[in-house]
Amino acid sequence: MRALIVEDQVLFAEAIRMALRDHDVDVVAIMESPDGVLEALEPAEARPDVVLMDIGLPGESGLALGARIVERYPDVRVVALTALSDPRLLQEAMQVGFSGFLTKDTQISRLVHAMQMVVEGEVVIPQKLAKDMGTSRKSGFPSAAEKEVALLVAQLTDREREVLQLLAEGATSEQIADRMDISRNTVRTHVQSVFGKLGVHSRLEAAAFAVRHGLVETSRRRTAS
């Protein structure tokens, strides 16, 4: 697995590089600022599997830079690695297409496991932040945006909700077919219907939507605790 670290604290970044090397992760580069990151990703042969992104970068924010990476290089997974344990930042990261959100006190073994999970197409967030995000959504009256989401979700059939749950768990089409006892063609039809009704364009976006809006059952959600 190959990784690129975007982090302005050089000593921290070097420590992460050395720790990841012990877990067979090749850190192709450390970038101290947003400058030049997109250009560094341009050569396909040099492109990493995962970008570990600090949020509080000098100049352009890590969230904005991550969004640009996701848009330009959809095969690269972006994971926030930040000191800021804030459910609002988690929501923003999910909205712009991040595949994961981890805090800098995450143990290296869990960081590596999380990186492996996102490469496999899963969305990884800390258990505590997931709970905090759910709590913050439940307080007060629903906003206009929340009402709009509710209308979108209301269009889903029970079968499509089940498919969305499995997508958020990172299940493949074959696994969904097996668990729901349906054909892969039927899975494909359900998935495309979910995309159309939610206004998303990929499995990752659908999973992020489910996590962001609390549509994934807590007991079944795979989190990095």
- Pair of tokens at residue 188: 């494909």
Phi, psi for residue 100 in degrees, rounded to 5: -165, 160
Q: What is the pTM of this model?
A: 0.60
Q: Which residues pair with 101 in a beta bridge?
A: 80
pLDDT of residue 144: 53
Q: Where are the domains of the chain?
A: 2-134, 140-212
Q: Are 53 and 79 in contact (CB under 8 A)?
A: yes
Q: Are 224 and 126 in contact (CB under 8 A)?
A: yes
Q: Are 102 and 81 in contact (CB under 8 A)?
A: yes
Fold of 2-134: Rossmann fold (3.40.50)
Positions of E strands within the chain: 2-6, 26-31, 50-53, 77-82, 100-103
Q: What is the pLDDT of residues 84-134, one digit of tens each?
A: 777 778 878 887 888 888 888 888 988 999 899 888 877 787 666 555 555
- Pair of tokens at residue 82: 């930040």
Q: What is the CATH number of domain 140-212?
A: 1.10.10.10
SS3 content of the chain, % helix, strand, coil (to 5): 50, 10, 35
Task: Report the C-alpha dihedral over residues 114, 116, 120, 123, rounded to 10 degrees.
Answer: 10
Query: Identity (one letter) of the amino acid at 122?
Result: E
Say how far apart CA 62 and CA 40 lie, in whole Å. 16
Show the low-confidence residues of the chain (pLDDT under 70).
126-148, 151, 216-225
